Amino acid sequence: MTRRPIEELVIGYARGEPMEVEERERLRAECSASAAVASDMRAQEDLTRRLAALRDAVRVPKSAVVDDERLLEAFRAAHARRATSRRRFRRGVGAAGIAASVAAIAVVGMLHRVDDGGRAGAPAASASDRAVDASAEQGPALAVFHALPFSPGVSPGASYSVVRVRIPVSSFPVVHAIEPYTSVEADILLGPDGIPAAIRFVDPEEVFVTAAADSKER
């Protein structure tokens, strides 16, 4: 066992800390032999008493209790906020699931357009043609958001949130992905009502090959 300095033993004893029998004997011997150690011991014991008196004298004032009700109100408000955000999150996750399915349709639409790219007399722009410029929000490497078919579109000034989802390629009925992709990552833009409004693919769109193009190549 390490031999502790006598000052440490004095303070430990005065604080009522547990002490080995051997240490206690050593302390007793030092107190008998040295007036300075005995004086330190008295001072430390007195300090312990005074600190205890100070501790006992400090009480939470009654005026503080008045604020208890305010705290409870804050608690109720905070809990209500948390519950709302949990509901939003659940709705968001549910919506992301729907969005993933809708994304499949969007991908098909997009790739068909790619196939028909050079053709004249293309139909008037549909909802999925309207790319939403989200360049302010995203890095330059990411694609723009594509409005989802049947979505009300993106209104400027409204507040949206982005949920990142991973969509298995098998969920796209008429689209294949090149190796080694088995799933693709996409960001879904959720409207203030929790309804998916637009999508952008984190993985490059070139990973997709339509069934038609695939069979053409073969």
Partner 1 sequence: MTTTENEDALLLRDLIAGDEWAFSELYRRRRGEIYRFAFAMTRSTALAQDVMQDVFLRLLEDATRFDPSRGTVRAWLLGCARHVVLDRLRAEGRWAADAAVDDGPSTPCPAEDAVFTEQRLAQLHAAILSLPVEYREAVALCEIAELSYAECAAVLGCPIGTVRSRLHRARALLARRLADIDDGEAPLRRVNEVCG
Q: Contact residues for partner 1 (CB under 8 A)? A: 7-8, 11, 40, 43-44, 46-47, 50-51, 53-55, 57-61, 63-64, 67-68, 70-72, 74-76, 78-79, 82-83
Closer CB to partner 1, residue 3 or residue 59?
59
Sign, Cα dihedral of 44, 46, 52, 53: negative
Q: Which of 59/218 has CB closer to partner 1?
A: 59
Output 22 or 46, the one with its CB closest to partner 1.
46
**What's the closest the beta carbon of residue 2 comes to partner 1, in angstroms?**
11
Query: Which candidate, 198, 164, 203, places its Cα nearest to that of 182?
Result: 203
CB of 111 to partner 1, least distance (A): 43
The token duo for 4 is 């502790």
Shortest reach from residue 104's CB to partner 1, in Å: 35
Euclidean distance between CA atoms 203 and 167, whole angstroms: 11
33 or 52: CB nearest partner 1: 52
Q: What is the C-alpha separation between 124 and 82, in angstroms, rounded?
A: 45
Contact 46, 14 (CB under 8 A): no
Of 56 and 179, CB closest to partner 1: 56
CA-to-CA distance for 75 and 65, rounded, in angstroms?
Answer: 16
Positive or negative torsion for Cα 205, 207, 212, 213: positive
Minimum gap (Å) between residue 13 Cβ and partner 1: 12
